[in-house]
Amino acid sequence: MSDPQAAKVQRLIETALEGPGELPSGLRKAIAGEAPGEIPSNLLPYLDKVAHRAYTVTDQDVEALKRAGLSDDQIFEATVAAAVGAALKRLRAGLAALGDRPQGD
């Protein structure tokens, strides 16, 4: 089954992970799980929340990242990268589950 939204998804990936930003593109890709790379340990708990339990993110989580030296833009970009990565993982799992089902089913 071909994905009719594939071009839009690819544009989203390129914009969010490869476009200009405060965080290096390689780090944004690593956060999203789209490339290998080392993610600073102080980001990991926050990124896990964003990817798996976004509803639990609090102002205190963001403030802790600011105290650790991250700017608002860096926090935003890390958040977007984690959310995009989580969405892509779910999208790919859904498409794989559909397998070769005929379109329209």
- pLDDT at residue number 2: 62
Q: What is the pLDDT of residues 73-101, one digit of tens each?
A: 999 999 999 999 999 999 888 888 888 55
Q: What is the pLDDT of residues 59-68, one digit of tens each?
A: 999 999 999 9
Domain ranges of the chain: 6-98
- pLDDT at residue number 99: 83
DSSP 102: P
105, pLDDT greater than 90: no
- pLDDT at residue number 26: 96
Q: How far apart are CA 29 and CA 32, in angstroms?
A: 5
102, pLDDT greater than 50: no
Q: What is the pLDDT of residues 3-47, one digit of tens each?
A: 678 889 899 999 999 999 999 999 999 999 999 999 999 999 999
